């Protein structure tokens, strides 16, 4: 909401909020480029909207201008991120803005890309275009956090997730289903909104998961990433049966030639991962390798060991805890979650996600 001290009007907030919603709708689909939203307005009428194209091109500003069926002279543009100002695979968006006679540009935050950062302001101002920045800055900084992590650290933005029974079990041999259908929907949405998902071979062999998004209308599932030092994953598992080079990566280190040849024949991408002094995968090295292979947003659906390893190295950017109201029996084979002492060491903020249906309790932890 705007206030008396706010230099922006309620309508400014409304249009930038719409631009943010457009950017959110393409989150995770724009490859190396950030997802951007753009709204063009003239005389309080929306003339056009645009968002970044799949895999990052065309840019949102280009799409908004290109789709407009109106004269854009003296119009106002609201865009979530600083427009590009350099030649790459496409011409600069600043050139197009100037050419179309747009009189005012609102963009929220500067791009972190050194080729762009802060330069667009000067270019647009020198062409007599009014430029204002900072509108919904806090919201946009939160939204672009994964992009900032990607560009600064050259690793994916990592989201963790665990499902717990009321008595903190994550596995029960007889009853494998822990959370309700509403929590499942959120889990599947998390899969949809991340380009890759990671588990260990132990989870693969125990649960035989599909690791896909099964929400009708959301037609993307993440690439599967399996940590399997000796390639001991069951050959008849769903992951191996459905594997393609484009959708499955296995990290290994000590597997024999017979296993390596089997996985390669299945079309699986094999990457030899580094092992630390404790004979565990060097997770930081694996994240860097995933980044090189196009991973920008990684969901980790691990068990105790993998989750604890990420916690100890402080590699989670955020984490979801799904707590069921059901108790599971300890009279059969079970696994208890024992990482609670690591939450406070990894995260500063904790918020409860309000779900109107179902009885599960969901918490989101962030740094």
- Beta strands 361-366 and 349-353 are antiparallel
**DSSP-assigned letters across all residues of 35-82:** P-EEEEEETTEEEEEEEPPGGG-S-HHHHHHHH--S--TT-EEEEEEP
258 assigned to active site: no
Beta bridge pairs of residue 107: 79, 133
* Residue 279 vs residues 190, 230, 252, 304: alpha-carbon distances, Å: 31, 12, 12, 17
What is the C-alpha separation between 55 and 32, in angstroms, rounded? 7
Among residues 61, 82, 289, 301, which one is catalytic? Answer: 61
Secondary structure of residue 279 in the 3-state scheme: coil
Secondary structure of residue 216 in the 3-state scheme: coil
**Considering only CA atoms, which of 313, 251, 234, 250 is closest in space to residue 278?**
313
Tokens coding 348: 């500063």
Question: Catalytic site residues?
Answer: 61
């Amino acid at each position: 909401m705007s206030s008396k001290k706010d230099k922006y009007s309620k309508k400014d907030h409304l249009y930038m909020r719409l631009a943010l919603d457009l950017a959110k709708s393409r989150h995770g689909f724009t490859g190396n480029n950030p997802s951007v939203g753009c709204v063009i307005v003239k005389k309080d009428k929306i003339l056009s909207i645009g968002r970044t194209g799949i895999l990052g091109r065309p840019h949102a500003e280009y799409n908004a201008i290109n789709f407009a069926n109106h004269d854009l002279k003296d119009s106002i543009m609201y865009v979530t991120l600083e427009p590009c100002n350099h030649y790459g695979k496409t011409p600069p968006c600043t050139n197009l803005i100037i050419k179309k006679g747009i009189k005012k540009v609102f963009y929220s935050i500067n791009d972190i890309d050194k080729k762009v950062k802060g330069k667009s302001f000067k270019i647009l101002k020198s062409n007599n275009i009014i430029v204002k920045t900072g509108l919904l800055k806090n919201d946009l900084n939160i939204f672009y956090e994964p992009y900032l992590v990607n560009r600064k650290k050259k690793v994916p933005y990592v989201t963790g997730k665990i499902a717990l029974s009321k008595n903190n079990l994550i596995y029960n041999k007889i009853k494998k289903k822990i959370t309700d259908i509403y929590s499942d929907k959120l889990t599947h949405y998390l899969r949809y909104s991340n380009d890759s998902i990671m588990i260990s071979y132990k989870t693969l062999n125990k649960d035989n998961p599909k690791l896909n998004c099964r929400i009708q209308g959301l037609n993307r599932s993440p690439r599967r990433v399996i940590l399997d030092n000796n390639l001991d994953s069951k050959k008849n598992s769903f992951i191996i049966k459905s594997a393609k080079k484009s959708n499955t990566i296995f990290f290994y280190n000590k597997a024999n030639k017979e296993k390596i040849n089997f996985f390669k024949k299945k079309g699986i991408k094999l990457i030899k991962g580094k092992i630390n002094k404790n004979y565990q995968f060097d997770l930081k090295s694996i994240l860097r390798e995933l980044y090189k292979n196009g991973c920008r947003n990684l969901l980790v659906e691990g068990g105790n060991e993998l989750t604890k390893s990420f916690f100890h190295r402080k590699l989670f950017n955020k984490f979801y805890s799904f707590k069921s109201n059901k108790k599971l029996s300890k009279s059969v084979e079970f696994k208890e979650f024992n990482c609670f002492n690591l939450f406070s060491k990894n995260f500063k903020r904790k918020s409860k996600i309000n779900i109107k249906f179902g009885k599960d309790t969901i918490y989101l932890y962030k740094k």
